Chain A
Amino acid sequence: MTLATRPVILLVIALGYTLWAGALVALYGVLSLGCVFGWEEVMLGPLNLQRGLLLLLWLLSVLVIALLAWQTWSWLQSARGDRPPPLPRFTLWLAAACSIAAAGATFFMGLPILGASACI
């Protein structure tokens, strides 16, 4: 597993949480801009524009990070057979675990979108 033993694996390990941080900034930003520009007054069916955008952004972020988690998980699985040395398995495990954790964190962090008031 050449990826698992090159320095770029450190970036892969960090990628999931970096995307989580980006999601936080994006959600906070869309929320703030939405209140300033009055997007919560624009109705799209049962939801207002701001809430809809937030839901979309949240689920999209979770999806992207979950895809990363799935990819790193499958790399880990393919490293399991035929007793490969521990180091590649270790770094791949870290990459998968951090990505899964980041996906979970992004999901949990966005739960308030389901109920909290956006502009008061």
Chain B
Amino acid sequence: MKNFCFFRDYKSPGLTKLLKVMKLTVFMVFFSVAGVLANDSYSQTKTLNLNMREATVKEVLNSIEEQSEFYFLFSENLVDVKRKVNVNLENQTIETALNLLFEGTDVQYSNRDRIFVLTTPEVSGDELLVPQQRTISGTVTDKSGKPLQGVTVVVKGTTNGTITNADGEFSLTNIPDDATLQFSFVGMRTQEIQIEGRTTITVEMEEETVGIDEVIVVGYGSQRKSDITGSVASIPDNRLEQVSNTNFAEAIQGSVPGVNIQTTSSGAEGDDINILIRGRNSFIQGRNTPLIVLDGVPYNGNLSELNTTDIASIEVLKDASSAAIYGSRAANGVILITSKKGKQGKIQFNYDGLIGIETFGDYPKPMTPSEFYEFKRIRDESLLTNSEIELYENGGGTDWLDLATRTGSRQHHTLSASGGNKNIDFYISGSLLDVEGIAINDQFQRASVRINLDLDLTDWLTMGTNTQLSRADRDGRPVNFGSAFRANPLTTAYNEDGSLKMDPWPEDVQTSNPLDPLLYKDNYDTYKVFTNNYLNVQLPFVEGLSYRLNTGIEYTNLNRQNYMGRDTKDGFRDQGRLELTDNVSTNYLVENIVKYGREFGKHTLALTGLYSYQSITQDVRRLNARGFPGDELTWYQASSAAVIEPGYSFSDQTTLSNMLRINYNYDDRYLLTLTGRRDGFSGFGENQKWGNFYSGAAGWNAHNEDFLKDFVFDELKLRVSYGLNGNQAIGPYETLTTLNERPYLDGSSTAPGFVPDDIGNPNLRWESTLMGNIAIDYALFKNRLKGTIEYYESKTNDLLLSKTISPVSGDGNNAMTDNIGEIKNSGIEVLISGDIIRKTDFKINMTANFAYNKNEITKLYGNGMDDLANKWFIGEPINVAFDHEFGGVFQIGDDIENSAQPNHEPGFSKIVDQNGDGVIDDEDRTILGNEDPFIFAGLNFSIKYKGISLNIFSQGSFGAIRENDLLAENVSSDIGNNTMAKNWWTPDNPTNEFYANHIFANVPNVDIYQSVDYWRLKDITLSYDIGRHLGDLGIDNLQVYLTGRNLLTITGYEGLDPELRSNRDIPLTISYVFGLNLSF
């Protein structure tokens, strides 16, 4: 056998590696390569011109590499490349050139693709006199156990090495016992293994997950990571796998810098999630959300209606350049989701399953019956009713929250098959998710089927589909958690016969039972079809020109029936009440895409042109009816109602777009991306239908420069981008003046009535964000340490502000939307990932990300004035807490009469007199802090030893405060509501923490704010690879794992949870999950 030795082990020019990566990458649409691939006899047809005198062999080889795609692997120890030669060739093939070059030497060469390996005959072992030498052999496979051919195996520190054969086998002789073997393969992580006396060895190579040649989706195509000039963050695989995500946003939370994901309320479905990329660019709440694109189609549905186990990758486009292709919807960033594809090879069956329990931790609890009794007695004894006193004296009462909660459960099963041959690739899956939440009757079920196909119909026509069919089931109304938190504990939930009490508090029949919703008859199903279908046509005559028709249809049908019988409060009042909802929404996309990609020597050019049409409609049909003869027929009896109120709401919006993107690459060193997009949107005002957006970006792969080639960097890349994007921010018809329905009577029958409602604005248009981004991507020490550092600044103009207008104008909402205002965001994002230990059997990786965002209003109405009504202040962030400041409690002996609150008494709340004018009024409100956090961080720690791995993920946010409304009384005038026990002021307890338990103690109603900084241990996963012990059962992979989620939160906030919006809501769910992955 021959020993192949070489000297350049990894730092090869991108293209060569790309060719190999393509085999590994699930899908790859970088069309510029297509032309190259088609030409499979490159080495026979490529002609070379060489005219060099007194040049070294190395220089000649370099020259050949420069004018061709050939690439040479050799070792300077074996091949004398310093030998001076004279070459003069014209239009000769590589074979001729090499024969000439090595004429008279023992250098031999072999080639695969465009890679030439230069070797010399076997070196005699006698030359190296090392004791205790042996022969070692082994097999190299990929992660799924398939043999890998062509893996380079080198004895570390020597020139001794070989390449694996077609069965992945290798054999090396004359190896010292203490030697270390290096295994390397393009696109795979290099491994070092100590022999420790073994004679056979099995090595499993792993894909380089964040390698610089990874191919990632960038919108309307994909690109090599090394070619990207914008700010594109990929979600790490470990956030998508082996984590019990109900929706994909949970996978993103904390894993990439600059994306702030906040779960605003808990529960079985848990899709009440805010996504904010690089800060708030818009004043309008809910219009700061990024555009979500699933398989090339803007996704219009619920986060939780998409099966998470079908997702192959998630990319987040953060800067102006990367997002600019989505023009008027790009300013808040774009999230690209790609579903899994099949790959050629044998059919692979996969089962992913998990089961778990859902529970909850400690949460602030309202007072017990006896505490409440004491509270009420002190506050106003006369309001204690007989039933309350009786319950108290008998030691009765109710812990409403205890009645409202349970231990929930979760299960998620996905079975998939994938594979393919020359003409077809497929991925087909079926999945079932079932979550029983911790609030009684709170449940979510999702069943889905996915069919992804790619078909090569002819050599010029390919087509495919990415389709999900799903059903989400949200039957049943959960208990009313808000009222369970507030419910009077001196009441009873059940009658003696075990049925629910309609009036838990006999003396106050207005109080309803928080468990009342359990009696509602409720059916709530959503059916969804989301399908992307496309055709690719290779056009003739112009090499590299292709046309793609991309279409998308999303059809959602939400069906809801609810009936409240006479056993419920509202049902009793209305003599039965029913609500029927039928909500059909459609999302329809057609895109014509023309692509052109060509290489001209060192120049690579790629053009993408787009003409697209998208239409989204929604029809909501409602029927509310009340007054029924009986409850038996539930929601089927609308026709016999005394009052029937039908309703119909409708919306229709259209976006038309043109886009052109130019990518230019010189020698893999200099990169340029230019993008222009023109969008028309029906929701904009009559005079402002079209907007133009553009961006430019440049990148420099410094590590490909000769002068840095042998330096420590595996990657060193500088990226700069600048551009203008838009935010549609308004919905359909918001520019129109509308009327509100106000029916009246004609005698005793209905007479239609309308009054003016919102005042319209025909000049409304998109918000525009100008963003600059500068970034460095780095990888050091053979990619052991890598990451990204970015700085950005953005300025948003023409902000759509719901401007408060004088009530004198008579607008129903005292508000009108207008393009005014300006916001600045700037920030830093840091990603750093380190392989602390990187051995075959033992790995430790730590990945951290950090983001800081500064948000600042720079202009409001153009007159330099702040907007007190909306609490917007120039120079401050958008969401500030602007309020009176709680200044403690008036104490006995304080000079209250001469204070700013002369009518107060000891024990009453004190407000800080900010301007010191001796009067407490609106002038004393001040900015107490920011309500949006401005620092976000995530930390992932993973450790893998043989088949065991442990992953610990934590995340947090800092810098925000929020009113803790649990620190207020809100007990209503008859003290019918429960509240939290507090450190009330009394003459014997002269605290400043909380005022007295007295009806007038906080009449001016000063709120107490607290920091909502937190650090959360989001999940811990412990997994074990059983598959490694199963040998030849035909099982490719079998892995079991345990995950705990939301196990620990460190915060000073005393409300329900720093992340959740309400303090009287379902507590944060803690889940413990057991999962299994099996593939065969």
Q: Do A and B bind each other?
A: no
Q: Which residues of A line the B interface, CB within 8 A? A: none
Q: Which residues of B line the A interface, CB within 8 A? A: none
